[in-house]
Amino acid sequence: MHVNYFVIFSLIVGIECAFFDYTDVFSDDLYQYWDKNARIVNQNRECRADGDQQLVGVCKNIAECAWSGGVSRRSTTCGFLSQCCTHRQSCNGRTSAKVSYFTSNQQTANSCDYTVQLMNRNICQLRLDFVQMNLEKPNDNGQCANGSFSVVNFNNIPTICGTNNGQHMYVHITGGQPNSVTLNIQNPTVSNSWLIKVTQLYCPGTSILPLGLGQYRDMAQDFPMLAPPGCLQYNTGRTGNFSSFGYSSGDTSSKYSAGQRYTICFKNPDPVRNQCMKFVLQEFNLAQDTFLFVVGGTTPERLTGTGLTTNTFYTYPGIYSVYFQSAAPPNGIPIGQGFLISYDTSGSAPNCGSSIA
C-alpha cells in the first residue's frame, strides 16, 4: 500500500510541475551563478525558430504550445525549458494566438477566410504585416477581379490586390464590435500567394478586469506599436519609404485599386524640438479624381496626376500624416501606377519653415 501511495503522490507532483511557472526561478538566490547560456527566459517572449527567420513566435513550454494549436521548434532565444511556438494556418483557420500567420495553400476556392479570436477585451488593435502578398493586379478600372484581400465587416479598411510585399495595416477594434476579426481572400487562384503576420495589441485602460503579470508585460511591449486613432498605416522609423497598395518598384504595370480612402501616419520622434517633416516623391502616377493630401503644410497640398513641378514637400509640427483617396478613372483612361515616397521625420532637413522646397 505504501508503494501505491507513493506512485499516486509522484503522479500528482509530476502533473503539478508540468504547469509550474518556471519564471519563478529568477527569485532563487543562486540564480546568478547559473550558466548564463542556459538561463530560463520569460514565457511569451518573441522568438524565431532556429533555421527559419521568417516566422515570429513566442516562447512557450511544449505542452502549452500544443494546447494552443501551435507548433514547437527549437530556438536559442527561448532557453532550455521552452521552445518557439508558432501559429500558421490557411483557409478556414482560426486562432487566438498573440502572433499568428495566415498563409496560402496553393488551392483554389471561392473564398478563403482566417478568423482571429481576440485574446481578451484589452486587445484594441490588430497589426497586419504582409510578409508576402502576390495577388492578381486590378484591371484598368481599378477593380480587383481575381484575388483580393479584405477585412470582413470593416468597411473603412480598403480592399486591396496586386503585389503588397512589406506593406502593413492596422485594424482598430472598439468596444461594441465582435470579439473576433475575419480576414478574407476572395477568388484566389493557384498562382496567388500570401503570408500575413497578425499581431494582437493590448491597449491600456480598455477593461476593468484585473490583468495577470504577463498581460501587463505585453501591454508595455505593445504600447510603442499602437497606431493613433484613424491611421490605417503607422510608420515609426525616423526615415523610410511608403507606397500605395499594389505598387511594385520597377513594375510599370502595377496599379492601385479604386475605392480606397485611408490615412497614413508617421511617428514624430521628438515633438518638442522637431520643426518639420520632409517628403520626397520618388514615383508618382495617379489617375483623374485620385489624390494624395499632405496634411500640415503652410498651404495643404492636394497632389494628383503626373509630372508635378516639384517633388519635395514639408509639413509643420503636429500629427504627421497623409490621406489617400482613389476613384475609378473615366472610361478609356487606365488607372494609375500609384506612388513611392521617402520621408524624414528627423526635423533637421533644410528649408524647414516652408511648405514646398
SS (H, E, C) 84-117: EEECEECCCEEECCCEEEEECCCCCCCEEEEEEE
When pLDDT is cut at 50, 70 and 90, the band that residue 16 belongs to is: very low
* Residue 15: band (very low, low, confident or very high) from pLDDT cuts 50, 70, 90: very low
Tell whether 114 and 221 lie within a shared domain. Answer: yes
Residue, of 248 and 68, whose pLDDT is higher: 248
Q: Which CATH number belongs to the domain containing residue 93 in this structure?
A: 2.60.120.290
Is there a contact between 118 and 173 (Cβ–Cβ < 8 Å)? yes
Domain with 316 in it: 239-347
C-alpha cell at 27: 527569485
Q: Does residue 311 lie in a domain region?
A: yes
User: Same domain, yes or no, for 138 and 104?
Assistant: yes
pLDDT at 298: 55
Examine the domain organization and report whether 125 and 192 are in the same domain.
Answer: yes
**When comparing pLDDT for 216 and 207, which is higher?**
216
Between 244 and 8, name the one with better pLDDT.
244
Contact assessment for residue 45 and residue 22, using Cβ atoms and an 8 Å cutoff: no
pLDDT band per the 50, 70, 90 thresholds, residue 24 = very low
Q: What is the pLDDT of residues 27-58, one digit of tens each?
A: 333 333 333 443 444 566 788 888 777 788 98
pLDDT above 70 (res 2): no
> Do 246 and 337 form a contact (C-beta atoms < 8 A)?
no
Highest average pLDDT, of 165-169, 213-217, 224-228, comes from: 165-169
Q: Where are the alpha helices (DSSP H) in the chain?
A: 2-18, 62-67, 213-222
E strands, 30-77, in order: 46-48, 56-60, 71-73
Given 200, 226, 252, the domain boundary residue is: 226
149 shares its domain with 262: no
CA 206/CA 223 separation, integer angstroms: 13
Indicate the residue among 205, 226, 247 that finishes a domain.
226
pLDDT digits (tens, 9 = 90+) for 240-273: 999 999 999 888 899 999 999 999 999 988 777 7
Instruction: Quickly count: other Cβ atoms within 10 Å of residue 138's Cβ.
Output: 27
Residue 102 and residue 221 in one domain: yes
Count CB-CB contacts under 10 A for residue 208: 6
Residue 132: the pLDDT is: 95
Q: Which phi and psi angles does 25 have, rounded to 5°? A: -65, -20
Tens-place pLDDT, residues 95-107: 999 999 999 987 7
Is 9 part of any domain?
no
**Do 182 and 304 lie in a common domain?**
no
**Residue 296 pLDDT greater than 90, yes or no:** no
Any domain includes 20 = no
Confidence class for position 145, pLDDT limits 50, 70, 90: confident
Alpha helical stretches, state H, 201-285: 213-222
Query: Which amino acid, one-letter code, is at 45?
Result: R
Of 290, 301, 282, 291, which is closest to residue 344 (Cα–Cα)? Answer: 282
Give how many domains the chain has, as a whole number.
2
- Is 210's pLDDT higher than 60? no
Last residue of a domain, one of 177, 201, 226: 226
Q: Is residue 313 part of a domain?
A: yes
Residues 111 and 221 in one domain: yes
